[in-house]
Structure 1
Amino acid sequence: MPARGAIVDRSAVPPAVAGEARAGVCGSARRAAAVYRGLTGWWPEEVSIHADDDFDRHVFASAIAVAASGGGAVASRLGLSGVDFGRLVAVRFPGAGVLFAPDDGETAPADDEIAMVRALLLASASRDGEDTAWLAAIVARRAIEPNHLWEDLGLRDRAELSRLLARHFAPLAARNTRNMRWKRFFYRTLCETDGIVLCATPVCTACGDFDLCFGEETGESRLARARRGSAAPLS
């Protein structure tokens, strides 16, 4: 019996959870919660992420769950090809393929903005292997969504996003010395690399848009809202 809170491999996804995830019987929020629990066996607030590998699996489960709640092909909403998405699920969540319909494996569409952010991340990769490559694609794709980046990755707070970037893209993360919002930081870095002056004000504290770049990124995570908003708890 695994210790409570540890993310563990699931050799089989509970049929009831898989059925609810596919059907979306209580809407997209309930689907997200069901997918996360189906992948990991736990609710997001229950997991232990002290170990780096458990943390990485939590990140993948969160991103997959929130992407699955948005409709359309999950792979595309994660910026992954069908092959890469299938590989990710097989490696990180054995037996969980039952959660996803066959068309979840369609190829992600090309997008210049996503490609630039992905390339920026890969240029600062501090770890080798598939996980880092997958995360670069996922972070870049989710960065075009409208909410805070940590929210659109399904994470519990901004600190988890900062940990993810420091772990897998350390040189880039270390450059954010003023704790700028991560999406703003990505785009500012890209502009500076191309020699473009993004800001007219030389001192950030004198800028009228200061809060857009450095303001609080607090709030309830999307998966927490999903569980709270469920009409009835999943067994």
Structure 2
Amino acid sequence: MMAGCTTTARPTHTTKPVIPAEYIAMYGAIEGEPFPIGPADLSRVEPRFWRREVGYPTHEPTGTIVVDTQARYLYLVGENGRAMRYGIGVGKAGLEFEGNAVVQYKRQWPRWTPTQDMIAREPERYGPLASGMEPGVMNPLGPRALYLFKDGQDTLYRIHGTTEDWTIGKAVSSGCIRLLNQDIVDLYRRVPNGTRVVVLQGPHVPSAAPQA
């Protein structure tokens, strides 16, 4: 059963940043999809959470996904101490996943089904959705999802998209890791099935890579 990754908080309003043209293009509408992917509203996302390549020295091998939940970043480890960094929204306290996992499989425009725990906590909200929700713009998983397994078992946690741009950088979901839709589409293209995922809780400082 798919994990539910819905929002339980409300947006806050901040001063709108000046958005460079390169980011307007990066986060523009995506064409050629079975359902619309509109442009991200970057005015509701802190600039530090916009996608960019950064220095990231680490012992983790190239191709590893590292999720730093406290900093609200997801890193895709690259070569030569570099990584692609994405801003994320994370799970509320007590609902987060921690540890190592693998991307067992990926899905474009996935179905979504609330977990039994979600239905038990909020039966009126999630009970009517117990049989699942079809793909589309209203689906909480968005246009892409990566399914995390540990020791061969489904963790029920996903890395997925969201149209709720204001939730990036916040702890609002039912435990999953959410990215802007443009970012999950970008990440989806870069990682294969079997990709290692490390989800960190608490303060974290990247460790220096070993010298050759």
TM superposition score category, shorter chain reference:
under 0.3
Larger Rg, first or second structure (1 or 2): 1
Higher relative contact order (CA 8 A, sep 6+): 2
Q: Which has the higher helix share?
A: 1
TM-score of the two chains, using structure 2 as the length reference: 0.27
